[in-house]
A and B are shown apart, each in its own frame.
Chain A
Amino acid sequence: MPPDHLQRQAEPRSAWRTLARSFAPSGSRGQVITGLLCALLGFALVVQVQANRSEGLSSLRQDELVRILDEVTRRAEELQTQVTDLRAQRTELVTGSDTERAAREAAAARAEVQGILAGELPAVGPGVELIIREPDQPIPAPVLYNVLEELRNAGAEAIQVGDQRLTASSYFIDTPDGVQVDGVLLSPPYRWLAIGDPDTVTTALSIPGGALAAVRNAGGSTDLSSRDEVQVTAVRVVERPRYATPAPAVEGG
């Protein structure tokens, strides 16, 4: 072979020819050994490629495995923390909406109560019906007002006379035509409806020298009856206060 080399070296453009001559199968020892080694290389190459393709973690070194394990563990911890955070957030939101709903319900209930007390809403409940007739002479307004006061004292929660809802600002006044309530003329007989504890109201009105006695003294006749259900249907439109505004909330108020 060495003489071949020298000969080939002498020709300047013989690289391809060199290659072709070397690759020509001659069965020499060098070619056989080279072929064997190339076979070994091809075998190892294919085996390694396949191992690399098929095997995931098993071909990794120990420190790489430890690093991967560390990363996975840390990632899991992060996710766990995230889960805890989100759970807490969810609980907070659920509680928050519960609180909000409770507050809204409480506000609605308070609005109803105050609507009834202020005369804005019709009301129904146990109470009394009182009919005052004036056969001959008109009953003066203070006597009727006295009846209202007595009903209030007895704890009546919703009161109406005729078609007028009586509230905290209601007034009775004598006019030449008759008695006016809150600027509306009343005509006898006066039909009162009051929601409250019927026994208490009845007792309070019938006290000797009380409201009904005063009505009778003024010449009227009274007809008082307890009812299991009284419907106070008259309502009054409450105007917004022009001057008064809510005072700053006191703690606990």
Chain B
Amino acid sequence: MIALIGLVVGALVGLFLEPTVPAVLQPYLPIAVVAALDALFGGLRALLDGVFDDRVFVISFLSNVVVAALIVFLGDQLGVGTQLSTAVVVVLGIRIFSNAAAIRRHLLKA
């Protein structure tokens, strides 16, 4: 419940503050958001599997975000930033889908 409240509170803060994204972070923020979504779904799945651990969740969340941003940064330096960010999004998207499927099997038995 606190997680949901946190999500809503964060969204509201973002809505009201309307901060501008720093130019340095602009290419990495969308990737980071997708990586965090992946971590969130992974955590939900672990919760339903009964193996949820808050330490693991925090570490996976942060490392997901950092690694995704790092990959994109590296791609930018190599000149393949666009392609690499596409690749990251695809991989994270696949993971989100598989996690969502596992969650669905848990909750709906289907």
Contact = CB atoms under 8 A, between A and B. Distances in A.
8 contacts: A37-B36, A38-B7, A39-B7, A42-B11, A46-B10, A46-B15, A61-B82, A63-B81
Contacts of B26: 51, 58-59
Interface residues of B, number: 47
A38 B14 contact: no
Interface stretch (A23-31, A76-84, A112-120, A209-217): A23-31
Contacts of A15: 48, 106-107
A40 B15 CA distance: 13
Contacts of B5: 35
A36 interface: yes
Interface of B is mostly: helix
A14 to B, nearest CB: 9
Contacts of A23: 1, 3-4
Contacts of B10: 38-46
A90 interface: no
A22 B5 CA distance: 13
A169 interface: no
Interface stretch (A1-9, A125-133, A194-202, A237-245): A1-9
A34 interface: yes
B54 A29 contact: yes
Contacts of B29: 44, 47-48, 51
Given A15-B106, A39-B9, A39-B13, 18 more contacts: A15-B107, A25-B1, A30-B54, A35-B6, A36-B6, A37-B6, A38-B3, A39-B6, A42-B7, A42-B8, A43-B13, A45-B14, A51-B21, A58-B23, A58-B26, A61-B27, A61-B76, A61-B81
Interface in B5-46: 5-11, 13-15, 18-21, 23, 26-27, 29-30, 32-33, 36-37, 39-40, 43
B50 A34 contact: no
B79 A42 contact: no
A58 B40 CA distance: 29
Given A18-B47, A19-B48, A40-B10, A35 B20 contact: no
Contacts of B8: 42
B48 A41 contact: no
A106 interface: no
Contacts of B18: 50
A177 interface: no
Given A38-B3, A61-B82, A45 B50 contact: no
